[in-house]
Amino acid sequence: MLESVIAFLQSADPMAIYLFLFLIAFCKNFIPLLPFDLPIALIGYLLVYTKLSLVYAIIWPSVGSTIGFMVIYLISRKFGLKLYARDITTVPPRWGEKIHKIFPPVEMELVRQRFAAHGYLAVLVNRFLLGSRSLISPVTGLMHLNAFFVFLAAGVSASVWNVLLLYGGYLLGQNWKNIGGFVVMYSIPVTVLFFIVIAFAVIKYVKERRNCLQ
């Protein structure tokens, strides 16, 4: 079976394979539960058997992942700008007022300013966050974080992640299907450290708010 895949990839148009990597990386943002990382790991294993370029094998899925992330971010940002605009007449009264009661505009602005740096950090490490990375793009959009810095952070995160997938596929060889266990070794410590930072930031923010109200 694997020999057939290698033979197919050796004869396939490299551009078609790069486009495939682009598409699966793009779709990963919208359907995070599907194992779209496996084909990238497979390419990492097969690089030595094909004429595929390592550089392009990194660039194409990284661009696809970044564009997919930015699409969700921009949709969420547009929604957030309408929801928390000064003139909220464009927001449907029923759900708009309910959301404002739960998340008042003034409070959201304070939260946005307070956690902006952590938002960019979340984007930077989003590919390594277990179980929550699909939430990062819509949340950063709702927080109105700077699009340029979000784009840079998302691009770096995607590039590092794809390098890890390709390297893992190459390192694991015929066991490339076990890439999930390989990347977890890197994802767990990053996830733990990130949530520790967020926990300290939240505790500090709550204490500051309490002191201001007293």
Instruction: Give me the pLDDT at residue 56, please.
Output: 95
User: In this structure, what token pair is assigned to residue 32?
Assistant: 């995070």
89 has pLDDT over 60: no
Range of the structural domain that residue 42 is part of = 2-213
Contacts of 74 (CB under 8 A, 6+ apart): 141, 147
Using only the alpha carbons of the chain, give its radius of gyration: 21
- Quick one: average pLDDT of 103-125? 71
Model confidence pLDDT, tens digit, residues 7-60: 777 778 889 999 999 999 999 999 887 878 888 888 888 887 778 899 999 999
Reference 194, options 78, 138, 115; nearest CA is 115
Number of domains in the chain: 1
Prediction pTM value: 0.77
